Chains A and B, each alone.
Chain A
Amino acid sequence: MSRHHTPSLEQELFAARAEAARLEARCEELETQNFELASLFTASSQLHGTCREAVLTAMEEIIVNLIGSEQFAICELDDPALNVVSSVGIDAQQVRWTPRVQEVVRRAEAYVGSVAQTEGTEPLACLPLRAKNEVIGVIVLFGLLSHKAEFEPLDHQLFDLLGTLAGPALYCTRSVQA
């Protein structure tokens, strides 16, 4: 005759608690994902417009309210220099056509530094704005809000979104203006 080992009540309770903890963690993970999607949805919805002022305002609001920076400039490429079209919390003179910015433009890839390792007037991040397969400008960030220690994974997604949606939006406003 074989014996079947039946779990004790204590073992079942332990298993149930472990499962509850696992589901709670999964629930939190899903909440975070939902929140990230909400941020991306909001950002992408705001970047549709033909009015230059509206596009620049949307970009500023995304950077301030969703990324968390009040020290940045939005620039259009005026080869071989930059034309600052909007700045918040900084002197436009602070934006320079440095090797780092040139590299970002050349490679069409964002530079994202660390708050702890960025000094003086060096940019904390430089993001290319792309349209029609070329870089038409950059966003240069010089700092984060005081209560935000570093960039987070969602910020990198917002950077990509700005690069791919804000670039064409800004480019289109030139066509409307012309």
Chain B
Amino acid sequence: MNRKKILLVDDSATILMMERTILMRGPYDVVTASNGEQGVAKALSEKPDLILMDVIMPRMNGFEACRRIREEAGTRATPIIMVTTRGEETNVEMGFQAGCSDYVTKPINAVELMTKLKSYLGD
């Protein structure tokens, strides 16, 4: 089975654990980062197949991290799914303007998340 690598970027240990628990049921290998700055570094070094990116984080927020990741040739096309507590249209629009590919709101709906992962990464 062709396993995919997913980078989880979130400052919440709870969310990281939740995402890991959901993803462990699929063909996914997980790497994590606990802030935007670390997220950018790991995106460049690990070259994940997809990134789940929190928005509100210390040191660098998710929008800025997304912009930085999009600046690099090696990660320009990597799907980035924003994970946010703020599902308002303006916030979502900011995410898309920063270069995110999609978004899910917290609390995370595992079925919705897995469906989106399959749409970007295949079965």
Contact = CB atoms under 8 A, between A and B. Distances in A.
A and B: real partners?
yes
Given A38-B22, A41-B21, A147-B105, A28 B111 contact: yes
A36 to B, nearest CB: 9
Given A64-B85, A145-B105, A31 B111 contact: yes
Nearest to A62: B14
B interface bracket (residues with beta carbon within 8 Å of A): 20 to 34
A148 B87 CA distance: 9
Interface size class of A (residues with CB under 8 A): 20 to 34
Contacts of A31: 110-111, 114
A35 B22 contact: yes
Contact of B15 (A32, A35, A65): A65
A147 B87 contact: yes
A68 B15 CA distance: 12
A61 B106 CA distance: 11
Interface stretch (A42-50, A91-99, A135-143): A42-50
B2 interface: no
A114 interface: no
B88 A146 contact: yes
Interface string A12-23: 000000000000
Contact of B111 (A35, A39, A66): A35
Nearest to B14: A61
Given A46-B13, A58-B14, A70-B85, A65 B106 contact: yes
Given A65-B15, A65-B107, A145-B87, 16 more contacts: A31-B111, A32-B111, A34-B25, A35-B110, A38-B21, A46-B14, A58-B13, A58-B14, A65-B12, A65-B18, A65-B85, A67-B107, A145-B85, A146-B87, A147-B88, A148-B107
